[in-house]
Amino acid sequence: MPTVLITGASRGIGRGFVDRFNEAGWRVISTCRDPGSAGLGGEVHPLDVTEQASVDALATTLKGEPIDLLLNNAGIYGPRTYAYDEIDYDAWAEVLSIDAMAPIRVAAALTENVAASNRKLMVFISSVMGSIAETATGEGMIYRSSKACLNAAVNVMSHGLQGHGIACVLFHPGWVRTDMGGPTAAIDTTTSVRGMFDVIDGLQAKDNGRFINYDGTDIPW
């Protein structure tokens, strides 16, 4: 039975992943900031991805346990409407901390667990909004820059972890009807999650460093 660890598992895409991997017979390790109020069944651990002590505590709890797939899903959007001379720089720093720095913190702490597994996969939920090539608007600087930062960091990590046999892959989940995506988004959570699950299930070492849409097509950097 393969094992997946999912961050941000309490709602939205994360919760959808929990359900899908359970259906597929995986051992699912769910993490979120407040497991007591999340209503998640199965194996659940507290995790604040922005706090090194919290990440270290999880790594200690799971020491020696292989993790076939580390699924870094936790993220926020941050402020949505602002002019360039009205940017909340503290809010920008918070989004960068959660969306760009935290996934790398978690990946670094659990590298040995992933390296000890059979599948050796790290998946990071990014966004097409982090693609510089696809940016054609003057809006969304904070969120776009956080995902562009994540993309660059994972690209570097994908080279650095090759010696461990680990493949690192970034995903755009689509524009999904969640709290973040809003009620008018193009697809529902089930469509997004099932698309990504099908692609993830077929990933191999040769896919290391890819930036992929939920339907399996590549996205330009």
Query: What is the rounded average pLDDT of the residues 28-56?
Result: 93
- Does pLDDT of 175 surpass 90? no
pLDDT at 37: 78
SS (H, E, C) the chain: CCEEEECCCCCHHHHHHHHHHHHCCCEEEEEECCHHHHCCCCEEEECCCCCHHHHHHHHHHCCCCCCCEEEECCCCCCCCCCCHHHCCHHHHHHHHHHHHHHHHHHHHHCHHHHHCCCCCEEEEECCHHHCCCCCCCCCCHHHHHHHHHHHHHHHHHHHHCHHHCCEEEEEECCCECCCCCCCCCCECHHHHHHHHHHHHHCCCHHHCCCEEECCCCECCC
The pTM of this model reads: 0.94
CATH number of 3-213: 3.30.420.270, 3.20.20.70, 3.40.50.720, 3.40.718.10?
3.40.50.720
Domain map (residue ranges) of the chain: 3-213
- Does pLDDT of 101 surpass 80? yes
pLDDT at 179: 62
The whole-chain average pLDDT of the chain stands at: 94
Residues in the chain: 221
- Does pLDDT of 83 surpass 80? yes
Q: Are 61 and 45 in contact (CB under 8 A)?
A: yes
pLDDT at 75: 95
Distance in angstroms (rounded) separating the CA atoms of residues 118 and 180: 33
Identify which of 128, 138, 211 has the alpha carbon closest to the alpha carbon of residue 175.
128
Distance in angstroms (rounded) separating the CA atoms of residues 163 and 119: 15
pLDDT-derived band of residue 16, with 50, 70 and 90 as boundaries? very high
